[in-house]
Amino acid sequence: MPPGASVADVGCGDGQLALHLAASGHRVIATEARPGPAARARERLGECRLGAGLTPLQPGEADVLVLAGMGGGTMARVLAASPEVAGAARLWILQPMQRVERLREWLAAGGHQVERELSSSQRRRVYTVLVVRPRAA
């Protein structure tokens, strides 16, 4: 995560990642489409915007978009549905749970550059994390 970056945790769930990012000194905007998890995130963070995908965000409001814990196809649809918001971010950090190849194909077709690929593991499961520089809108 770039130092001092403002970060949108899209689909934040219960807000654990957003809480960690805020504790690390980042300005964090947490969003969640489901009322139950959004309420739990609000309890942890004090604020969580309710809405699907990138709709709770304004273009340029976040330097970095984090999408984690959803499928690669879903991530592609979320980013494609709000090109103004997605294209205004400097970086996307994407952690797809499945269909990584579908996401890679969508990124390549759109001219988005995967700058770095990382692996993370938790409880015997290995996750792929893509750090993407979006093509300018």
Whether the model pTM is above 0.95: no
Tokens 């739990």 label which residue? 40
> Can you list the positions of beta strands (E) in 48-124?
49-50, 64-70, 91-96, 113-122
Q: Of all residues in the chain, what percent carry a pLDDT higher than 70?
A: 99
Q: How far lies 39's CA from each of 2, 48, 118, in Å?
A: 28, 8, 31
45-90 tens-digit pLDDT: 999 999 999 999 999 999 999 999 899 999 999 999 999 999 999 9
When the pLDDT of each residue in the chain is averaged and rounded to a whole number, the result is 93
Q: Are 11 and 51 in contact (CB under 8 A)?
A: no
* Residue 88 dihedral angles phi and psi, to the nearest 5°: -80, -15
